[in-house]
A and B are shown apart, each in its own frame.
Chain A
């Protein structure tokens, strides 16, 4: 900005404080300016006041809906960094950026499972665990291809059913089992409750 612009800005700021009685207390979020090292979640709209004050970080509270893979036990809302470090190099990754840079879903592929990771309050958390095939199973012994009656018995938890989808909740985690026409489990997924 040149000197005239700076002076005008200062003058306007004075007016603005009087008009809005805000005094610039809000800590704005990042802007849409070009940034070569930009993180994907960027908004030109300042964060809403509630967000600016910092919401409580998410809490991992998945209880029996934990998952174990390669000797590593983890669940929904665990911090992603230590889990990914422990699991080692993924076979592949996929990043799904939302339109206009309003956030990204990061997917990490391992043999038989997929992890989804999201940025929440500047920290990356596990937000999805999907069993991709029948080579892996849940700690309770449930796997893809199993009859749903047997899966329900092994899980031994309360559930709700909506069509072909069975849902189980424990704290911050929600487990979905989806069944096919023959009553076998065709998909298993942990997501935030």
Chain B
């Protein structure tokens, strides 16, 4: 009897040790996204900051590069957060939004529709960047199920070691340094770029076989719409101010129609460049694909005024606690901008926040 108990205890201990080793090795080998490719760190950053945002953005790079919550705060006292990630597909946006409503009660959800031209899962690398940072929950499980490409293994999202073990010979100081905690790479979800690369001549629009947005995407947009309704939030659809990839009038017309049918506003910022004050010879860091901090601030100031005047989003600057929290956020933003400007001055390009000088 005693021997049986000892064996059981030993077996249990062995199982616990194995589980702990698998967990630890998963932590060690998973990408940390603390330099170069920063986008993979964005999803996880939201959770400690969740709480009292009146406006939540969801979408791809066209939100996390093009809108500055700090500029919106400074202009109109609007509290906002960008739940963005690289090539965030609409089913991922839906599950990320479900997580938002679990954490807080925003008054307005702003969804950028650019990624809706993807009707199918696209790339494991992008999936990982969006999904790995979600804490384990039913939302994460469903997001993984709906996002995986054919080559991917479901279990490897839950046990990262299964996917990342082959990084063992690539481990760097960064993997150890950020084993249990990470730096913040965004400011309220905004991924800053202070460099400038003027837009010149854009390529011709690719001809498509089919301009219809996939039914699957409409289904998820419907789900997002209902989710907002159920949680007392207003939904606003936007097409952000990125001029490439090409935004087809055929796509635009479908969103205009959907928005009208559902009584939802849809704003395409592309024709409003002049009104917003954007100058693509200065306000973009990659020749028109994304805005830099100067462009993002212009767009955000314009947008903040719109939300204040037309959507009743309150000015929170009179609330001492909120003001104090945002003072810290603004300080981080200013320090980051200073650091980027110093680096541009020293090297002629952004070194620490990119993969280096690709020129």
User: Residues on A close to B: CB < 8 A?
Assistant: 1, 5, 9, 12-13, 15-16, 19-20, 22, 24, 26-28, 31-38, 40, 42-46, 48, 50, 92, 94-102, 105, 107, 109, 114, 116, 128, 130, 132, 162-163, 165, 167, 176, 178, 187, 189, 191
Closest-CB distance, B350 to chain A (whole angstroms): 11
Contact B210 A96 (CB under 8 A): no
Contacts of A97 in B (CB 8 A): 286, 289, 358
Interface residues on B, range: 35 or more
Contacts of A32 in B (CB 8 A): 31-33, 35-37, 40, 355
A19 — nearest CB in chain B belongs to which residue? B22
CB-CB under 8 A for A35 and B36, given A24-B166, A102-B86: yes
CA distance A183 to B100 in the complex (A): 49
* Interface-centre pick from A5, A99, A167 (highest chain B CB count, 10 A): A99
Q: Is B196 part of the contact surface with A, judged by Cβ < 8 Å?
A: no
List 28 interface pairs A-B (beta carbons < 8 Å), by A numbering: A1-B171, A5-B176, A16-B161, A19-B25, A22-B166, A24-B165, A28-B166, A31-B167, A34-B352, A34-B355, A35-B355, A42-B36, A43-B125, A44-B33, A44-B128, A46-B164, A46-B166, A46-B167, A96-B203, A96-B244, A99-B86, A100-B38, A100-B87, A101-B37, A102-B86, A128-B206, A130-B203, A191-B207
CA distance A32 to B37 in the complex (A): 5
Q: Tell me what chain B mostly uses at the interface: helix, strand, loop, or mixed.
A: loop
A26 — nearest CB in chain B belongs to which residue? B166
B162 — nearest CB in chain A belongs to which residue? A20
CA distance A19 to B166 in the complex (A): 13
Report B148-172 CB contacts with A as 1/0, cut-off 8 Å. 0001100000000111111111111
CA distance A19 to B168 in the complex (A): 14
Contact of B163 among A12, A27, A46, A107 (CB under 8 A): A46
Contact B125 A45 (CB under 8 A): yes
Contact B25 A15 (CB under 8 A): yes
Closest-CB distance, A17 to chain B (whole angstroms): 9
Q: Is B262 part of the contact surface with A, judged by Cβ < 8 Å?
A: no
Q: Is B49 part of the contact surface with A, judged by Cβ < 8 Å?
A: no
Contact A102 B126 (CB under 8 A): yes
CA distance A163 to B248 in the complex (A): 15
Known pairs A34-B356, A36-B356, A46-B167; list 7 more (Cβ under 8 Å): A33-B174, A42-B37, A48-B151, A94-B201, A101-B36, A178-B207, A189-B207
CA distance A31 to B124 in the complex (A): 15
A107 — nearest CB in chain B belongs to which residue? B203
Contact of B200 among A22, A33, A92 (CB under 8 A): A92
Contact B25 A16 (CB under 8 A): yes
Contact of B168 among A24, A92, A96 (CB under 8 A): A24
Contact B204 A34 (CB under 8 A): no
Contact B36 A40 (CB under 8 A): no
Closest-CB distance, B242 to chain A (whole angstroms): 10
